[in-house]
A = this chain, B = another copy of it.
Amino acid sequence: MRTLEWDYQYKRLKIIDQRVLPSQFEILTLDNYKAVAEAIRSMAVRGAPAIGVAAAFGMALAAQASSASTVEHLRKNLQVAAQLLGKSRPTAINLSWALKRMLAIANKPVEGVLELKERILMAAQQMADEDVATNRVIAKYGAELIADGDMIIHHCNTGALATVDWGTALGIIRLAHEQGKRVHVLVDETRPLLQGARLTAWELQQLGIPYDIISDNAAGYFLSSGKVHKVLFGADRVARNGDVANKIGTYMLALAAKDNDVPAYSVFPTSTVDLSLPSGKEIPIEERDAEEVLALQLRGKAVAPQAASARNPAFDITPHHLITAFITEKGIIVPPYEKNLAEKVAAQR
């Protein structure tokens, strides 16, 4: 099954609950848009592309539940839903990109309420299908950069679970593996929520791709050993100058890659680019609950002292000069990023 799927029989959204993987595989059924917002907030569904599509289906649920008798009223209901869904997580631009797209569709001339409800659902479904298609194209471009025998460090989870299906950075590794290239992945465990150790390792294991989990701290050691060929990660928002907001830790990983002349690639659909922000400084960084840092146990014992306090920024900004290239569905984008991003993204919109 896909990471998120519309259930046409019962008219609701089904998602894989990523909070309990890999020890449990559970499907969450979401039948109203507030539940979708909560699933995004609590990271039952996560990954920039996946939360964009989840929000789109949230709009479909809002449309479906609306008792509006006029198109105007339905549009207002949709605006209310978009506002709530848009607040669920602040950093990934894909969320507001998806909501804007849905609202634009809502504002097109339409015959009546039923037709608009149908259009909204179809648009969400189209967005989901496009995401999978986009990822396959990204993988095709990216796999050309992967050589037989490559050792690759991968941060966070950018696999099928971070998207509707297939994945972005991990999708490249998957395609290279399918092409018969031998690859070995060093999986950053990705504290605090351990998407690497929990999700990426699980996906790689299912795909039969060799890997080792490493603590995020160990990436620098392996990079300086000379045995790592590439570093791959996703993106949650890319500013006009090419600065990348991505899962916390990406910045230090990219610094260590640069210090050892190992190429570092950020992989994303161009919907992740936010041309309205001049640089990474303007990207809002979500700080999440301290509990996520403190909830850890080691060998069955609590790690932090009782009443310990913690800080928990979920993303950081990797300056564009640390990134070798962007891998997108529009091809591989190299510096100067300001010029080349604008060209590729403007061409699309």
The docked-state distance in angstroms from the alpha carbon of A306 to that of B24 is 12
Cβ contacts A197-224/B at 8 Å (1 or 0 each): 1100110010000011111111111101
Chain B residues with CB under 8 A of A295: 298-299
**Segment 264-298 of A: residues with Cβ below 8 Å from B:** 285, 290, 293-298
A183 CB to nearest B CB, Å: 15
* Contacts known (A22-B305, A186-B311, A189-B303); A252 close to B297, Cβ less than 8 A: no
The docked-state distance in angstroms from the alpha carbon of A112 to that of B285 is 70
Decide if A300 is an interface residue (CB 8 Å cutoff): yes
Chain B residues with CB under 8 A of A211: 309
Decide if A193 is an interface residue (CB 8 Å cutoff): yes
A197 touches B317 (CB 8 A): no
Chain B residues with CB under 8 A of A224: 251, 316-317
**Segment 215-259 of A: residues with Cβ below 8 Å from B:** 215-222, 224, 247-249, 251-253, 255-256, 259
Chain B residues with CB under 8 A of A307: 205
B293 touches A219 (CB 8 A): no
In the complex this chain forms, how many copies of it are found? 2
How many A residues face the partner with a CB closer than 8 A? 64
B214 touches A310 (CB 8 A): yes
A22 (CB) vs chain B CBs: closest residue: B305
B302 touches A23 (CB 8 A): yes
Q: Can you list 13 residue pairs at the A/B interface with Cβ under 8 Å?
A: A20-B301, A24-B301, A189-B303, A193-B298, A201-B305, A205-B307, A212-B309, A213-B293, A213-B304, A213-B309, A217-B247, A252-B255, A296-B298
Residues of A within 8 A of B (CB): 20, 22-24, 186, 189-194, 197-198, 201-202, 205, 211-222, 224, 247-249, 251-253, 255-256, 259, 285, 290, 293-313, 315-317
Q: A23-B301, A192-B215 are in contact. List 10 more A-B contacts (CB 8 A).
A: A194-B303, A197-B296, A197-B304, A213-B309, A215-B249, A217-B252, A220-B252, A220-B255, A221-B285, A297-B297
